[in-house]
């Protein structure tokens, strides 16, 4: 078992911890979605990304998602978590790197 923690209150500019999970039918849309999500955070499972972003980037992401999916057959869930938290990892997990993500 492995754990990691976050505290969005520590940063001067308030940040938001996100968990984005998705089920996108089309390979083309799914690959484009994953590529976009790599600009916000990091993949933790095949259809799940974690990210720590500013409020402005969070709003930008929420505007982008509807344009990347087909609402009649795709599903995206964005969980917004603030404050402190803990993630417990079990089984095969890639090493989580604490790195800054910049979108230009």
Instruction: Look at the block and give the residue holding tokens 């972003």.
Output: 53
The CA-based angle 5-37-89, given to 5 degrees, is 30
Is 23 a known ligand-binding residue?
A: yes
The widest CA-to-CA distance across the chain, in whole angstroms, is 40
Count of Cβ atoms closer than 10 Å to residue 64 Cβ: 15
CA–CA separation, 48 and 31 (whole Å):
13
SS3 content of the chain, % helix, strand, coil (to 5): 25, 40, 40
Which residues are annotated as part of the binding site?
23
Which residues are annotated as part of the binding site for Mg(2+)?
23
């Amino acid at each position: 078992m492995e754990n990691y923690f976050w505290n969005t209150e520590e940063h001067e500019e308030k940040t938001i911890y996100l968990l984005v999970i998705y089920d996108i039918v089309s390979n083309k849309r799914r690959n484009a979605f994953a590529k976009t999500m790599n600009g916000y955070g990091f993949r933790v499972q095949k259809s799940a990304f974690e990210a720590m972003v500013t409020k402005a980037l969070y709003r930008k992401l929420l505007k982008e998602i509807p344009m990347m999916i087909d609402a009649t057959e795709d599903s995206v869930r964005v969980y917004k978590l603030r404050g402190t938290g803990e993630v417990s990892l079990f089984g095969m997990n890639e090493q989580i790197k604490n790195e800054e993500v910049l979108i230009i």
